[in-house]
Amino acid sequence: MRFSTSILTTALIAGGAVSTVHAALPKANEYKSSDCSGALNYGHHSAFLGDVTMDDSSHSVYLAGANWVGFSDKTSNGGKCSGSALTVLQGECNNLDTAHPGKRIKCVRNID
């Protein structure tokens, strides 16, 4: 009985750790709205999230789980960030059209 209780306790602790790690994964979710409201346009959520190109129809991005920098250009959809590093973006919702005066953010990079 003692052995099976130890195994169960270890499994529960490990399960909790996995849930905690999953919640902290980098996220960059795109929305057509300017304030991250409404339906998700494109969702990005992965432990390996690096450069995330913004679709031309997206106007805001919800960022979490990492530190992010917005870039002025992208090599292609699904490609890499290029151009100038414009600004460090805060967590949560960022308007792609107004987060940096005079320039639209076309790509975000996880700098962690």
48 or 8: which leads in pLDDT:
48
pTM of the model: 0.78
Residues 6 or more apart in contact with residue 66 via CB below 8 angstroms? 26, 49, 110, 111, 112
Q: Which of 92, 95, 74 is nearest to 28 (CA)?
A: 92
Exposed e or buried b for every residue in 90-100, given b needs 16+ CB within 10 A? Answer: eeebbbbeebb
* In the chain, domain spans: 26-110
Q: Is the CB of residue 96 less than 8 Å from the CB of residue 104?
A: yes
CATH code that applies to domain 26-110: 2.60.20.10
pLDDT at 11: 37
Does position 33 have pLDDT exceeding 90, yes or no? yes
Predicted confidence (pLDDT) per residue in 42-91, tens digit: 999 999 999 999 999 999 999 999 999 999 999 999 999 999 999 999 88
